[in-house]
């Protein structure tokens, strides 16, 4: 698959890694809770991310951090719809919405969203598959063990890559059976969602190391490792790095992901991530032969 259509835009993933900017309009997200909770700050951040090189903005109205509590559909809709409206007016960037709720998704699509980022892979709300099919909206299906409230409470795997592969295969087949077009699907192994980290077990690194296995499913792969706990556990050697100290590790994870087959990177730090991806894309996606001595 060479192209991904998101809204009115077509992205050639053979030529360029897609960069999705994270915009959490919540008071309790793990990295930037409250930072963009006001409408004005959220709009300003979306405009900035577009200027810095984001291809898509992913808006989240409900935190999915470990231990997060659910909010009502009404509250989630009230948080995101006014922001979608304004972003559409002030930017030319496609909008994704991070939700698993069918009513929220429908309202978001009606307001102009072009993609739904579903952490439950169509399991959280049985009505969502119909909405995605009818609107022909792009959807990302993610692997998660449990749900945000309990996903980090003793997750266990015998073979994590096999389990993720089998899960995503079943979920994409389910989507196709329910009339979602294959070219409208993206898969995500769910870095940090019910994955073990610390004490010598690093599931997230195992995923990044084995992305080529997931490429066999023949869907674009999205990776969202930005600022996550495993980066803090590993990058600081004996020091557990705080969230605002994880930039370098986040960039390294993004680079490793693309080199191993990821097509889409979901990140907080757009300027820095785009610069890294520009170089990697030049090396691995630019097929033109060049004279290494040219100046």
CB 210 within 8 A of CB 217: no
Instruction: Tell how strand 9-12 and strand 185-188 pair up.
Output: unpaired
292 token code pair: 């290494």
186 token code pair: 């993206």
Catalytic residue among 184, 196, 266, 274: 266
In this structure, how many other beta carbons lie within 10 angstroms of the beta carbon of residue 19?
A: 22
Q: Which residues pair with 19 in a beta bridge?
A: 265
Q: Which residues pair with 57 in a beta bridge?
A: 21, 95
CB 42 within 8 A of CB 8: no
228 is catalytic: yes
184 is catalytic: no
Task: For residue 13, count CB atoms less than 10 angstroms from its CB and return exposed for 0-12, middle for 13-18, buried for 19 or more.
Answer: middle
Catalytic residue among 106, 145, 196, 228: 228
Residues catalogued as catalytic? 228, 266
């Amino acid at each position: 698959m060479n192209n991904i259509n998101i809204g009115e835009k077509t992205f050639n993933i053979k030529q360029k890694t897609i960069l999705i900017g994270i915009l959490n309009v919540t008071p309790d997200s793990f990295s930037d809770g409250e930072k963009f909770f006001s409408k004005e700050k959220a709009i300003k951040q979306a405009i900035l991310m577009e200027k810095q090189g984001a291809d898509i903005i992913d808006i989240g109205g409900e935190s999915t951090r470990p231990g997060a509590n659910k909010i009502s559909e009404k509250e989630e809709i009230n948080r995101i719809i006014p922001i979608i409206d304004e972003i559409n007016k002030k930017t030319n960037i496609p909008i994704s919405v991070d939700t698993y709720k069918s009513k929220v998704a429908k309202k978001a699509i009606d307001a102009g969203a072009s993609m739904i980022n579903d952490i439950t892979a169509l399991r959280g709300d049985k009505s969502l598959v119909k909405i995605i099919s009818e609107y022909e909206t792009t959807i990302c299906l993610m692997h998660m063990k449990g749900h945000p409230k309990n996903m980090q409470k003793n997750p266990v795997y015998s073979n994590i890559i096999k389990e993720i592969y089998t899960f995503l295969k079943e979920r994409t087949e389910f989507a196709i059976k329910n009339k979602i077009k294959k070219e409208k699907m993206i898969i995500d192994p769910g870095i940090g969602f019910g994955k073990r980290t610390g004490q010598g077990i690093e599931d997230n690194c195992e995923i990044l190391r084995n992305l080529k296995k997931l490429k066999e499913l023949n869907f674009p792969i999205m990776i969202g490792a930005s600022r996550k706990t495993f980066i803090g556990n590993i990058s600081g050697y004996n020091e557990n790095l705080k969230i605002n100290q994880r930039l370098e590790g986040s960039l390294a994870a993004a680079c490793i992901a693309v080199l191993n087959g990821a097509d889409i990177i979901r990140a907080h730090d757009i300027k820095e991530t785009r610069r890294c991806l520009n170089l990697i894309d030049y090396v691995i996606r630019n097929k033109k032969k060049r004279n290494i001595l040219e100046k």
